[in-house]
Structure 1
Amino acid sequence: MKISVRNLEPTKVKLTVTVDPEEFEPYMDNARKEIGKQINIPGFRKGHVPGKIVDQRVGYQAVAGEAANNAVPEFYSKALEEKKISAMAQPELDVADLPSSGKDDTKLKFTATVERRPDIELPKLDGMVIDVEKVEVTDEDVDKRLDNLRQRFGTLVGVDRPAKKGDYANIDLDAQIDGESVDSQEGVSYELGSGTLLDGIDEALDGLSAGEETTFEGTLESGEHEGEKAQIKVKVNSVKAEELPELDDDFAQEASEFDTLDDLKADIRKQSERDSEGRQANNARDAFIARLEDGLDIPLPKGIKEQMVSDQLKQVTADPDKATAEQKKQAVESVEKELRDQIVLDTLSEQMDVQVSQMDVMNFLMSIAQQYGMDPNAFISAIVNNGQFDSAVQEVRRSKGLLAGMRAVKFTSDGKDLDLSAFLNDEESEVEEEDESVEAATAAAAVADEIASSDADKTE
């Protein structure tokens, strides 16, 4: 096998692979056997048709084409390995030459154009010290958690006064464009000040009482007229205020296993301290990756970046072309960071010779299946059938490489050694990925949603 490599871009290459006849012949033999199982030839049993007869019946070139379908992907993988190229996407494969007869000296020749991981040099881990800001638990943190618990036991009580921030209003909405109603909803419950419905609605509702209505201009955020300006008529049906229980021993007994409010506060502080340790571990992870990337010029694959940006915009708007400038900016920044992190962690895992077992990947996929309440075996089968198992392997390798790298450096906080052993001892580390754009997890979650939707359709 002869391989030539041409760099098209810093992250894109074109391989030209020429396969010698003796290397291609085993694939020809396998193709003849498979074709022989599918054709009926008098005098021969299926699967026992001589190769020459198969060539005569279906044509040598057809056999060669079938053989190439199996040979090209395997020779492509061997070429990547030989040239030490780490592909980041599926290649564009094109068969240039193929023998047309047994006497034809033409060799199998194909090209593969693929976006690759750029070569970068990471800083040495030996002797690296990373200082992480200490995460303190304050009285305000405890009070905030206590308020959240208190709100869970709150009740909504109708009030005879104008609505204000924090109130809950039951409203009817009617959106009109050029005097024609394009969308309407009735009996919507909305918390003033939450900013979860439409731009401008908080200002419109502030000061309105039950039975009153007003009209304001807003931008529709979904439906056929998404992104268009509309005159929105809103009517207030009722106004309710949240009534919270008193913070006393009675509340502690109702909301927890403790008899006194002081005991409940002490337990909340302990929980906050445990959580703060987890946040500090996550901060250490972020600081470690930032140190690896510091000063590095990491070229990003254009095609992958464009596709990821488009996919991310589809999560925030039905039509990515109508995304706002701010939405596009955020998507680009998010994707660029994700790609940089992936490239750095892949390089780190490779340099540290990280090995991934099948059990590692199964545990990763089972954890996602549990998050979605799905049968793990059915979920893993779906991942395999959708061709996403390799993505899961890659993500597990990154995770293991990250942990191995963090174990190889020293972390400090306020000049004192920071012990992260509770988070870095094994693959079940509690150091969490905060963003949900991880390729494997996203792909797996998409499969989970797909299966769930399919099951829902069957029950309708």
Structure 2
Amino acid sequence: MRRFSLKVTSERIEGCQVALTVEIEPEEMSKAVEGAYRRLANRVTVPGFRKGKAPRAMLERHLGKETVDAEALDHLVPELYDRAIQQEAIDAIGQPDLKIVQLDPPIFKATVPVRPVIELGDYRSIRVTPDKVEITEENIQEALERLRRLYSTWEPADHEARMDDMVIADITGEVEGKEIIHVKGSQYKLTADSTVPVIGFAQQIEGMQPGQTKEFTLRFPDDYQTPELRGKDCTFKVTVSEIKEQHLPEVNDAFAKSVSEGVETVEQLKERIRENMRAAAERDARENLEARIMEEIVKISKVEFPAVLTENEIVHLAEERLRSYGGMKFDDYLRIRKITAEQFKEELRPIAEKRVIGSLVLNKLHEVEGIQVSEADIDAEIERIIKESGEHSERVKEIFKSPVARDSLRGRLLTQKTLDRLVEIATGSGSASPSAPAEEPPPAAEGT
């Protein structure tokens, strides 16, 4: 079939898209209609004829010309779209929105998402001061107290229920004659600020004795998480079978040995705690510093990108959310949250847009700064990961034999190297300080 130069007009429109209008040549359409007749003849039964044997005129009379033309265009338009973007040298990054806008002559319009455009601001002038990391004696004592509670035991108490005690109880609750709570042998810790199942419940149990039963009424708040219970009275019945009190271990050398391997004394335990807390605080401070720097760079940069990137990111965020709920099914998650799919999507949209913008700006920054990750960098990081994997080291080795795993690691290293460079610039440290010569970023460039 002779190929024609397509009649195409293209226009850049907002949202990082290109609008293509393509007029289909009569000969192209004629060939497409012939193909449509052949396909339809093999699929459609015309009374009085075997499949594939009905004359064209009979088939057209049976189906209607509109059906045949629609079949032809369904096959022809995608082919002509591919030729059109090649002819116009359009770098599409997603599926087009295709619409037939005229039938005689046939004309279709394609709205095509194209690569983002990122204009970096003067990021080398940004200054951000790192947060100071300080671990105080009070922090150490708080950590020790948490360890004591973690290794505490619950022993039967010979007094009435008090705040911070644990009660074992059968609990029922009724609202408007309907039972909404029914648990036996529930372990309930009394805390003054508890809101479970409702504010004031713990105070009602306080002072009860084992074997005692008590009935009382409490009202659910107007903003209660379950809409059908908001502002309604609930009648509770509680029977306490046992009261336990918490016994905290004494902080001594024996305790220190039991809670941390390789520690012999309380002082060594405190030093271990200090080291761990400092390492965690420094990681948090570094992540916060990187986030603040990126936030400042994004503020002074201009980013234009197609909506499809946000839509794709919303899908990824939704998948992450469901995984965080143990792989919960989408419909179950919506039912529990009492929201629609559209509401969930709009809830994720601002997060998705922020992620997309941050990623595009970061990609442009590593391009402008000339950041690269070598195979030696990847090998060194794999070795580090293997050493920290302990008994799983062989499995980790197998994972990183995959090109996909190596590419994923390359991406993470590229991100971290770029962030390291930005920290050097923003804090005025290292070889990448603003005084060092560097290529000026172009005023505007298409994203990668």
The alignment's TM-score, normalised by the length of structure 2, stands at 0.57
Cα pair distance change 1:199/1:149, threshold 3 Å? same
Q: Determine the structure 1 residue equivalent to 2:243.
A: 239
For the residue of structure 2 that corresponds to 1:129, the secondary structure is coil
Any conservation in 1 of the 2:98–2:110 contact (CA below 8 Å)?
A: yes
1:116-135 matches, cutoff 5 A: 121-135=119-133
Decide whether aligned partners of structure 1 residues 16 and 356 sit closer, same or farther in structure 2, where only a CA change above 3 A counts. farther
The residue aligned with 2:199 is 200
Match of 2:283 among 278, 281, 287: 278
Partner Cα separation in structure 2 for residue 80 and residue 356 of structure 1: 34
Alignment correspondent of 2:47: none
SS for the counterpart of 2:133 is coil
**1:231 aligns to what SS in structure 2?**
strand
Aligned to 2:75: 67
Q: Counterpart in 2 of 1:175? A: 173
- String of CA shifts for 1:249-270, please: whole Å, max 9, x gaps: 1112222322222222222222
Aligned to 2:106: 106
Shift of 1:198: 2.8
- Give 1:41-52 correspondences, 5 Å limit: none
Q: Is the 8 A contact 2:96 2:110 kept in 1?
A: no
Correspondence 1:23-38 to 2 at 5 A:
none
* SS of the residue 1:254 aligns to: helix
**1:339 — aligned with what?**
353
| Whole-angstrom CA distance in 2 between matches of 1:342 and 1:142 | 40
Post-superposition shift, 1:14?
Answer: 7.8
Instruction: Tell me, yes or no, if structure 1 residue 348 matches structure 2 residue 353.
Output: no
Q: For residue 129 of structure 2, what is the amino acid of its counterpart?
A: D
Structure 1 residue aligned with 2:150: 152
Structure 1, 125-134 or 194-203: larger mean CA deviation: 194-203
Aligned-partner Cα distance in 2 for 1:191–1:75: 70
Give distance in 2, aligned partners of 1:24 and 1:196: 72
Pairing partner for 1:255 from 236, 239, 259 = 259
2:120/2:302 contact within 8 Å kept = no
Alpha carbons 1:346, 1:397 under 8 Å: kept: no
Corresponding residue number in structure 2 for 1:446:
none
Amino acid at match of 2:218: F
> Structure 1 residues 165 and 76, CA, compared in 2 at 3 Å: closer, same or farther?
farther
In 1, the alpha carbon distance for the partners of 2:428 and 2:18 equals 51
- Is there any run of 5+ residues in structure 2 with no aligned partner, and where? 1-5, 45-51, 322-329, 390-394, 433-448
C-alpha distance after superposition, 1:31-73 (max 9, x if no partner): 98x969x989xxxxxxxx9xxx9xx999964653452585488
Deviations 1:100-146 (A, max 9, x none): xxxx8635x134487x9986643233354321111222223322332
Name the CA shift for 1:409/1:223 in 2 (closer, same or farther; >3 Å).
closer
Give yes or no for the alignment of 1:292 onto 2:297. yes
TM superposition shift of 1:247: 0.7
The 2-side partners of 1:161 and 1:239 are apart by 8
1:181 CA drift (Å): 2.3
For 1:286 and 1:12, the matched residues in 2 are separated by 26
Q: Which range moves more in the overlay, 69-78 or 198-207?
A: 69-78
In the superposition, relative to structure 1, how do residues 235 and 400 fare at CA in structure 2: closer, same or farther (>3 Å)? same
Contact 2:194 2:202 in 1 (8 A): no
Change (3 A) 1:126 1:223: closer
Give the corresponding residue for 1:266: 271
CA RMSD of aligned residues (A): 5.8
SS in 1 for 2:220: strand
1:403 corresponding residue in structure 2: 416
- Structure 2 Cα separation of the partners of residues 318 and 148 of structure 1: 33
**1:413-442 residue CA offsets vs partner (Å, 9 max, x unmatched):** 9x884999xxxxxxxxxxxxxxxxxxxxxx
Question: Relative to structure 1, is the Cα distance of residues 195 and 336 closer, same or farther in structure 2, using a 3 angstrom cutoff?
Answer: farther
* Letter aligned with residue 320 of structure 1: I
How far apart are the structure 2 equivalents of 1:197 and 1:240? 19
Residue type of the alignment partner of 1:144 = E
SS at match of 2:219: strand
State the percentage of identical aligned residues. 18
Measure how far apart 1:319 and its partner are: 1.4
For the structure 1 residues 416 and 345, does the alpha-carbon distance in structure 2 shift closer, same or farther, using more than 3 Å as the test? closer
* Per-residue Cα deviation, 1:198-236 (whole angstroms, up to 9, x for no partner): 331555446242424332112596779465734141515
The answer to which of 184-193 and 334-343 deviates more is: 334-343
Q: Give 5+ residue unaligned stretches, structure 1.
A: 41-48, 99-103, 322-326, 371-375, 381-388, 421-460
Q: Is the 8 A contact 2:24 2:105 kept in 1?
A: no
Secondary structure of the corresponding residue to residue 185 of structure 2:
strand
Q: Which residue is equivalent to 1:451?
A: none
Instruction: Provide, for residues 166-215 of structure 1, a one-character-per-residue CA deviation record: whole Å limited to 9, x for no partner.
Output: 33233433332323324433332233337473331555446242424332
**CA shift at 1:248, angstroms?**
0.5
User: What is the CA–CA distance in structure 1 between the aligned matches of 2:124 and 2:92, rounded to whole Å?
Assistant: 27
Q: Distance in 2 between matches of 1:24 and 1:60?
A: 15
Tell me if the contact between 1:128 and 1:410 (Cα under 8 Å) persists in the aligned partners.
no
Query: Is the Cα–Cα contact under 8 Å of residues 32 and 73 in structure 2 kept in the other structure?
Result: no
Q: Distance in 2 between matches of 1:217 and 1:419?
A: 64
* Separation in 1, partners of 2:88, 2:171: 59
The answer on whether the counterparts of 1:212 and 1:236 sit within 8 Å (CA) in structure 2 is yes
Q: Is the 8 A contact 2:122 2:300 kept in 1?
A: no
Q: Match of 2:271, SS? A: helix
Question: Once the 2 structures are TM-superposed, how far is the Cα of residue 156 of structure 1 from its aligned partner?
Answer: 0.9
- Change in 2 beyond 3 A, CA 1:203/1:315: farther
Range moving further from structure 2, 65-74 or 131-140: 65-74
Q: Relative contact order (alpha carbons < 8 A, sep ≥ 6): 1 or 2 greater?
A: 2
Residue 157 of structure 1 deviates from its aligned partner by 1.5
* 2:200 is the counterpart of 1:166: no
For the structure 1 residues 232 and 282, does the alpha-carbon distance in structure 2 shift closer, same or farther, using more than 3 Å as the test? farther
Distance 1:400 1:234, change over 3 A: farther
Q: Identify the residue that residue 138 of structure 2 maps to in structure 1.
A: 140
Compared CA separation, residues 144 and 180, structure 1 to 2 (3 A): same
Name the residue aligned to 1:215: 217
Deviation at 1:147, TM superposition (A): 2.5
Aligned partners of 1:134 and 1:91: how far apart in 2? Answer: 50
Q: Which residue of 2 aligns with 1:320?
A: 339
